[in-house]
Each structure stands twice: as structure tokens, then as C-alpha cells.
Structure 1
Amino acid sequence: MQSPPRHVSVLVQEVLELLDPKPGGRYLDGTVGLGGHAWAVLDAVRKQGGRAELLGLDRDPQALALARERLAEFGDAVRLVHSPFSEFEDALDAAGWTELDGALLDVGVSSLQLDNPARGFSFLHDGPLDMRMNQHADDPSALELVNHASAEVLKEIIRDLGEEPLAGKIARAIASRRVRAPFETTADLAEAVSLAYPPQRRRMARNHPATRTFQGLRMAVNRELEELSAFLQRIVPRLKVGGHVAVISFHSLEDRLVKLAFREQAAGCDCGRTPPWCRCGKTPAVKVLTKKPIIPGEVEQAANSRARSAKLRAAERLSRSEGGQSA
């Protein structure tokens, strides 16, 4: 049996410092992946001579199976659930957990997914155009999207999620190409995108011309921004007073969502200057722990290329007297 691709979790020590796991605590890892961060949290508590409980979610069944093997040494302290992190409340209720001491997300695609051609995430490996993090779901795959979505919809996806300046040109190239023959593989799509680039721009590009297009399609297929937004809107009320939430993102749009959500939840009265007294009664729900995102140091970036775009932000649940009316 072929060994799974090596996946190195990013910003592990920084996550531990922000979550500050303690014996007796209950922690949520909404993107447990191969279990790297989860193992670090549980091991940190073990080194303190205690035990913590961890609920790990992931919508990739293959990742969950590998996480289960990695975390087996912690026994029944670990519960793993096949679920998108946006549905964390259902998982908490099923476990009988009312509150959390800490919550973590590591948003994005893993090496397990990128390096497996059958998953269709990467143009570096030819495989079926899929890109679904949960291949057992009924959600449309990238194959259906590129073969059936209108050129205008493709343009919006590639422009808004992929942040590709040539989105319109690429979308039209995709629509034109599929008339002759439908797309089937990642190589088909990568070639069409590459040919849509002007030759000089293609030669000068630092990355493969298909990089941003594949990113945008993946984010659309998995509804990644919608998932993150739903989590951020509902996680704070499920934290204990003093509980921390930490989010690692790899995309500027994701980082912006996290920054704005924490900023809004940390704000107090929003009545404005008139009237001269507060009518809304809104008080801060969180204290932002990271004024600027934490990024990996030079050593980690050199050792793990995936870490280069990682950004970590965190917030602390305030007491109910300070922040009872949370978002």
C-alpha cells in the first residue's frame, strides 16, 4: 500500500500559544485533516500531566481515516466526525458539548488532496476534473462546472475567487474549447487556460497560468468562503468565557473574512454619534488577540513551502458582562 503524502501542519507552536490548551478542556478542530494540529493540542495537555477532549471534523473521508490512525493513542479523548466545519453545532450537540475551551480552523487544501491525481485539484498531475473535498457528496464537481456553467459565471468565479486579471479571456477560451470536446481532465483545462494567456505574458509568469483559475474553481466547488463565513458567524457563542478561536487561512479573501468577522465581534455600540446615548446595547463579544496576522518564520517557510502564504488570526471570548450579546 502506498504511503499517504507527507503533510506538515503550519504554525503549530503559534497555534498552541494562542489556544493555550489545558487539562480538562474541550477543543474543536474543524479541519482535522491528517491530525497534525489535533495531535499537538492533545500532546501539549498530556505533557502537563492531564487530559483534554478533542472533537475533529473533516468532510474528506480519506483524511478522517488517516487522522483516526494518528490520534488513536489518545483513545476516547478524541471524537472524529465526517462533517463540514460549517455544521460544527450539530457535531457539538451530538457529542453533548455545550461549550468549548478552544476552536481551530486550518482552511484550505491539504497535500493529501493536492498530490493525489484522482482528486483533480492540481494541474501538476493529470487526473479527472473533480476538486470536491468530499467526493461522496452530490455537489457539482469542477468537471460539471467547466462544461456547463456559462462563460459569465466562469468569469466571475475565476475573477472573484481566483483573483485572475485575465478571467474574461480565460472564461471565453473555456467556453469555446468545450464546444469542440467536453473537458475531462486537469490537463485538458490547464492547457486551455495556458493557451488563453498571451505568449509573452505566459513566458513572464512566475507561476503556471492555470494557478489562479484552478484556485477559483476549487473554492467555488467547495463553497469555501460560504463555509468559513458560516463558521465565523456562529462559533463565538459556543466558546466558554476566556475561550479562544484561531483560524489559519491561505488566501487573501479568507484572511479578510476572518479579520472583518473578528473586528465586528470586537466592536461595541454601533449607534453612531446620534443619539448621544446607546440604544443598541451592543457590547464586544471578543477581544482580538492578533492585531496583525501571524505568519510563519523564515525557517518554517524554508522547510515547508505550503507555509509561505499562511496567516493566523485569533480572538478570545469575553465575559458575558462584557460581551453577552455576541454576534
Structure 2
Amino acid sequence: MSRLLFNYKLSTADGGENILYHLSDWPQDNCRSASEQTSFRQGNSPDFNPSGGHNDLDCSRKSGSEYHESVLLDEVTHYLAPDNNKLFLDATLGGGGHSEELLRRGARVIGLDQDPAALSFAKARLSTYDDKFGAIQGNFRDFGDILSTIGISGLDGLLLDLGISSRQVDDAERGFSFTKPGPLDMRMDPDAEITAAELVNNCEEEELARVFYEYGEERASRRIASTIVNRRKEKLFECTTDLASLVESILPRRGKKHPATRVFQALRIAVNNELRVLEEALAEVPKWLRPGGRLVIISFHSLEDRIVKSYLKRCSRSVIDRPEWPEPKQNP
């Protein structure tokens, strides 16, 4: 289900305030289901009634030549509140769907993505907005340094759409899918050094078990790690479906969810250092949002949720304030 988890205010150094929104969209088997509907736990946040329901991704498997519709498009646009000449950073540009809507409403957008394929696609898609849009390749953990390099001093809004895109899953050569044979890669940045195959084939059994348990919340982590270590003595893991089949032999399928889902999530997070990247990026946010600026974060699993919630609680206060009534005075 998609929902607004938190709505917070962050006090700035000059006495102003930023508004932080944390949205969550829970995928079904690594793909957001078109049958899932949007629901909100609004609290005291602005009124919002999405027209036409939830903008989910199309889960039908296509050729990979097109990006699916951006998730939570209406919600993101509403909470970022774009306006003429406001400056936004889409720190996870992807196919450019969110940026396109911000640009359409008159905002200026800087798009950031570590995936060169996504960057190329988004540049072509948004070429008609050249005067208000710029795209840069890079990891969003480095957004502060990148903005400084190009002479930006502050932002009116920042978007973090966490996790993996459907196009990356669709492309078997990227190695994210456990249903399509491909190299066991999982790097979001193709130039990064470590692949999932290197982790699976070289990590000690204890370390593999830790990765599966901490990053995938997989209860059978030790059993899976032990089986992997024994199997790789005979043959190293190179293909996604080889690893998926091994996990399925240990954990029989129950329902629609593939038994390898958590293992693949854990490896992807480890390969891309996703949780540390998120923590480092969040630490930079207060330095860059102008007074009245807005941060919108879309998370897709509980590990991301915990980091975001912890960050918001540390640096902000809830929008829903308890009124402080004056102390009753006794009658004279």
C-alpha cells in the first residue's frame, strides 16, 4: 500500500522551516502492482485527493525500451508543490517521469542518476525543457559536492525515489531479476567495482549469512549461506537463475513471492551500499534546503523506512503540534 508515513517540519538556522514528507510504496514481488490502491495517513498534512487513483507502474514485462510510469507521481508533485522558477533536485532521476511533471509546472530541475542508461533516456525525454533542466551522472550520496561544483547554493525541493527501477529489473543483463537468466551483477553504476557474483563467490559463510539477514531480513540466512559455500566449491555462481534455483531448493515457494526475493534484495543492497548511501545523503539535506523547502522520500522496504524515520525524528518535529493552553487562573 502507498501512504504518507510522516509529515515533519525542520527548523532552519535562520529561523525558517522546511517541510519533510516520507511516502512509502510497498512492491509486490519486485514490481508495484497496478491493483494496489493509494491510501493516506494524513494527520495534519494538506488536503489531497488524487484524481484517478494511484500512479502505479505497469507490471507487464515489456522489451525494456521504455520506462514504466513513475510511481506516486500525483503525490510527489502535490507535496513538492512546484511553481515557476523554483529549483528542485531529482536525486534519483531514473526515466525522468517525476522531473517531467515538475518541469511541466514551470519549475527548474537538476536530475541526478548513477545509471548512464537512465540518464541518457531522461535527457532525450526531457530535451524540450533544455532551458530549465540539466542532468548529471553521479550517486545521490554526493549531491552536495555536485551542486557546489555547478554553483548551486540552495534548493526549493529535493526528491529521493529509493530502490530499483522496473527497467533495471526488466534488463536481464543487469542481473537484478531472479526470473530471467543473466550475469549475477546487480550494480546500479556499471562502473562500480564489486558485483553480486563476487560477493556470492568470495565472501565467508558468516559474512554471507549476515548480508542475507541484515539486508534481506531472511530468516534462513545461515542455511542459505552454508549451501552456497558448499555449492561454489564445485562451480562458481555466474548466473542469476542459478542462485535463484539454489535458494528455491532450500525454501519451497509459498504463494506468489519467489523464495529468492529477500536474498536478491540483500545482495543488491550490499553491492550498491544502499543503506549507507541513504544515510550520507540525508545528512546533507538540511544544508541545502532553503527556508520553506521540501523533501520528499519514497521508500520501498522496511530497512529504508527505518533509516528515514530515524532521521526525521532526530532532526525535526511533527507538523501536528499539541496546543499549549494558558494555565487557568483562579477567580479573584
Asked if TM exceeds 0.5, the reply is yes
1:82 maps onto 2:132 in alignment: no
Contact 1:266 1:288 in 2 (8 A): no
| 1:128 alignment partner in structure 2 | 183
Q: Hey, what does 2:70 align to over in structure 1?
A: 9
For 2:288, the equivalent position in structure 1 comes to 238
- Structure 2 stretches lacking a partner, 5+ long: 1-62, 321-332
The match for 1:208 is 258
TM-score (norm 1): 0.76
SS where residue 69 of structure 2 aligns?
coil
- Name the structure with the higher helix share: 1
Contact 2:253/2:259 (<8 A) preserved: no
Partner in structure 2 of residue 272 of structure 1: none
SS in 2 for 1:143: helix
Instruction: Tell me the CA shift for residue 182 of structure 1.
Output: 0.4
Residue 151 (structure 2) aligns with:
96
Query: Aligned to 2:82, what secondary structure does the other structure show?
Result: coil
Q: Specify whether residues 23 and 31 from structure 1 end up closer, same or farther in structure 2 by C-alpha distance, changes over 3 A only.
A: same
Contact map agreement 1:5 1:115 (CA 8 A) in 2: no
2:147 aligns to what SS in structure 1?
A: helix
Change (3 A) 1:203 1:222: closer
186 and 203 in structure 1: CA distance in 2 versus 1, 3 angstrom threshold = closer
The 5 Å alignment of 1:155-304 reads 155-197=209-251, 202-267=252-317
Counterpart contact for 1:131–1:218, Cα < 8 Å: yes
TM-score, structure 2 normalization: 0.75
CA distance in structure 2 between the partners assigned to 1:40 and 1:174 by the alignment: 45
Alignment counterpart, residue 80 of structure 2, candidates 11, 14, 19: 19
Identical-pair percentage:
43
Q: CA deviation at 1:166?
A: 0.6
One-letter code of the match for 1:194?
E
Higher relative contact order by CA 8 Å / sep ≥ 6: 1 or 2? 2
> Hey, what does 1:152 align to over in structure 2?
206
Aligned partner letter, 1:20:
A
Q: Note the aligned Cα RMSD (angstroms).
A: 1.4
Structure 1 equivalent of residue 98 of structure 2: 37
Counterpart residue number, 1:106: 161
Contact kept? 2:84, 2:105, Cα under 8 Å: no
The alignment covers a number of residue pairs equal to 258
Alpha-carbon distance between aligned partners in 2 of 1:254 and 1:3, rounded to the nearest angstrom: 26
| Partner SS state of residue 76, structure 1 | coil
In structure 2, distance between residues paired with 1:19 and 1:203: 41
For residues 235-268 of structure 1, what are the alpha-carbon distances to aligned partners after superposition, in whole Å with 9 as ceiling and x for unaligned? 112110010001001011101111110111015x
